[in-house]
Structure 1
Amino acid sequence: MSTDKIKVMIVDDSALVRQVVSQALASEPGIEVIATASDPVFAMEKMKTQWPDVLVLDIEMPRMDGISFLKKVMAERPTPVVICSSLAESGAQATFDALAAGAVSIITKPKAGLKTFLEDSANDIVTAVRAASRANVRLLGRTPSPAAPPAMSLRPKNTADVILAAGSGPSAMARTTDQVIAIGTSTGGTQALEAILTRLPATCLGIVIVQHMPEKFTAMFAERLNGLCAIEVREAKNGDRVIPGRALIAPGGKHMMLKRSGAQYVVDVVDGPLVNRHKPSVDVLFRSVARFAGANALGIIMTGMGDDGARGLKEMHDAKAHTIAQDEASCIVFGMPKEAIKLGAADQIIALDRIPEAINSFCRTSV
């Protein structure tokens, strides 16, 4: 990775996309657009003379599709890739497959009103490129992953207060056998979640998860994991019970909170403003877990850009929950865990491959 400017190549068959994205990136300090290409064949020729630090890549292109090109790049020289593609139903699976090959994040673009959308999303594009440039490339593409988080927006940064006020709700209950696991993650999280959930037994405690992801992908992601795991994995719906053997993933574009209904845990799935530039927000979930589960919970913060979840994990820690942060060496992006560690929110800092056993150990103590 260059120590100077982030060198970017844009590969898209739309001249409009190449022009507008180039302008957005070129206006930013520390970013240089070294080339654009209308398809992967042209891109490969240009990459023979100068390899980019980050690729911005479309999926549907002439001569070679973006998926094939991405696989070729990852096999030859793993490079952070930001997918810039339509999420129309006809193309969602293709984008899903491309992300499974190792892309870092995605920018969703519409079929109509493209120029206005791209101009309005300039901050999202810049942020996605900067985040991708910090990705741990040696881990990219190592584990197939079905989706990746959306680019982080630079809109005003609300806190979890806009969804759930600090200290609201009943006080956390005393420790009982009715326990819950809460996981929050972002960039690189789809890989990490697959690595963890596929190693959990069907008897595992109920799990609630926030993965920063576009709304068209959360159901697909959950469905794929459900086919790989011994536990049931599904996109959460309002009022769903949190029970052993089930993992609920917050739907893209909605916040998810844990609540108590009598002796049972359930989830509230609600709309609302972005929190920490995200919806769903990890901080919102973790705060609710701190309030309604307290010492009955295990909180885990994993790979991701930014600081969403750091304060929420600290609230869980202060409510006597057991808390874990993924270590730097196993993170695609060591942003969210790093910020949580800085706050003193983590009881343990462990590698990704040790997290399943930590979860299983917590489950055993609940029996």
Structure 2
Amino acid sequence: MSKIKVLIVDDSAFMRKAIEGMLKKDPEIEIVGFARNGKEAVEMVESLKPDIITLDIEMPIMNGLEALEIIMKKFPTPTIMVSSLTTEGAEATLKALELGAVDFIPKDKSFATLTIMKIEKELIEKIKYFARKRSTGIIRRPTVTTKTVEKKTQIAGISKPTRKVPLKMVLIGTSTGGPQSLQRVIPKLPADLNKPVLVVQHMPPNFTKSLADRLNNLSKLTVIEAQGKEKIEPNVVYIAKGGFHLKVRKVGSNYYTEVSEEPKNVLHVPSVDVMVESAVEAIGGNGLGVIMTGMGSDGKIGLQKLKEKGGIVIAQDKDSCVVYGMPRAVVEANLADEVVPLDKLAERITAYCK
């Protein structure tokens, strides 16, 4: 079996060495080159034909976004962005995902120590996954629009749900491929949805704020990053804050957001399971759970509890997922009432809410 060929692109010699150190530990991965800027990256992609690229954003001569745009047009190659944890880094990363990057890994000033240990396994796993996807020719990159839409209230031709539940909330969970995919769901929801929407997207701090702002500009609903203690209102989308769990707390007849670092003994913070389980405690089965593209199985436990209480579960289908991990876990556990393509999710959510 041939090795996975990786091109590392970063203007920092330290970062190139750090990523090399992580990847060399896996015998299935071969580093075929190092580029110090976007111009070198484009030239090396053409000559070396790597299977995967790790690409820094801030570089001299030609930055990562400029290089990515050229690479995706001329030599489409799965690319994982190496993103700083600043607000500017988050904005650039979201743009990179729109341009065709498959995912990102975060870096900060502590990258040399604990951060390397934390992301090493994740990076290797992603490289192997996307290399396999590329070899089968089925990598999917959801395309999105960045044009701000007018506030409208109607979605035509919505078919009826298979079964009805008196819904109080919509609960969405997603991970790898989620930022691009959410931009093809949230903006399609009508202004009169009349239900609140809670979203967990696996992302670091700053990234979730940038995602919320971007979705708010595109959407008919109001989209915010949850800060905690907000009254949960209809027609508002609450994005879980990076580094914190989003929970639902009932006070009297009202529901409020709660932002917490507990529990800490979970793989993802924020966690889909934690959000859904807390919602089930507050609203019982009166929820619609939606599980979208993502690696792993976060969400399965929470959605199982929702189903046990009589709630509804929709899973994104395999063909439209960037990574069919989280939806697969739900579908294989027989928890999904419906399995639908990405472009139909907003329609089905609206049908149940109406």
CA contact (8 A) 2:8 2:55 kept: yes
1:334 is the counterpart of 2:320: no
Aligned twin of 1:195: 184
Deviations 1:142-182 (A, max 9, x none): 2258xxxxxxxxxxxxxxxxxxxxxxxxxxxxx98561100
What are the ranges of 5 or more consecutive residues in structure 2 without an aligned counterpart? 147-163
- After superposition, residues 229-268 of structure 1 pair within 5 angstroms as 229-268=219-258
Aligned twin of 1:153: none
Aligned twin of 2:335: 345
Amino acid at match of 1:115: A
CA contact (8 A) 1:12 1:18 kept: yes
The secondary structure found in structure 2 opposite 1:83 is strand
Picking from 198, 201, 204, the partner of 1:211 is 201
Q: 1:98 offset after TM fit, Å?
A: 2.5
Q: 1:22 offset after TM fit, Å?
A: 1.2
1:115 is the counterpart of 2:112: yes
Q: Percent identity?
A: 37
Q: Distance in 1 between matches of 2:125 and 2:309?
A: 33
Q: How many residues align?
A: 332
Q: Distance in 2 between matches of 1:216 and 1:131?
A: 26
Q: 1:76 offset after TM fit, Å?
A: 2.3
Q: 1:101 offset after TM fit, Å?
A: 1.8
Aligned twin of 1:151: none
Aligned twin of 2:76: 78
Q: Distance in 2 between matches of 1:141 and 1:318?
A: 32
- After superposition, residues 316-331 of structure 1 pair within 5 angstroms as 316-331=306-321
Name the TM-score, length of structure 2 as normaliser.
0.87
The secondary structure found in structure 1 opposite 2:183 is helix
Amino acid at match of 2:46: K
The secondary structure found in structure 2 opposite 1:295 is coil
40-49 or 331-340, which deviates more: 40-49
Amino acid at match of 1:244: P
CA distance 1:179–1:88, shift in 2 (3 Å):
closer
What are the ranges of 5 or more consecutive residues in structure 1 without an aligned counterpart? 146-174
Q: 1:68 offset after TM fit, Å?
A: 0.5
Picking from 120, 125, 128, the partner of 1:127 is 125
CA distance 1:264–1:299, shift in 2 (3 Å):
same
Name the TM-score, length of structure 1 as normaliser.
0.84
Aligned twin of 2:60: 62
The secondary structure found in structure 1 opposite 2:181 is helix
CA distance 1:114–1:300, shift in 2 (3 Å):
closer
CA distance 1:333–1:55, shift in 2 (3 Å):
same
Q: 1:141 offset after TM fit, Å?
A: 5.6
Q: Distance in 2 between matches of 1:27 and 1:58?
A: 21
Q: Distance in 2 between matches of 1:179 and 1:51?
A: 51
Q: Distance in 2 between matches of 1:271 and 1:199?
A: 31
CA distance 1:226–1:32, shift in 2 (3 Å):
same
Q: 1:299 offset after TM fit, Å?
A: 0.4
Deviations 1:304-348 (A, max 9, x none): 011111121111111110101100000000000001111111111
CA distance 1:93–1:142, shift in 2 (3 Å):
closer
CA contact (8 A) 1:210 1:249 kept: yes
Deviations 1:273-323 (A, max 9, x none): 545411000011111222222331100000001111112111111111010
CA distance 1:273–1:51, shift in 2 (3 Å):
farther
Q: Distance in 1 between matches of 2:280 and 2:187?
A: 26
Q: Distance in 1 between matches of 2:17 and 2:184?
A: 39
Aligned twin of 1:287: 277
Amino acid at match of 2:292: M
CA contact (8 A) 2:232 2:255 kept: yes
Aligned twin of 1:140: 141
CA contact (8 A) 1:184 1:302 kept: yes
1:223 is the counterpart of 2:213: yes
CA contact (8 A) 1:196 1:353 kept: yes
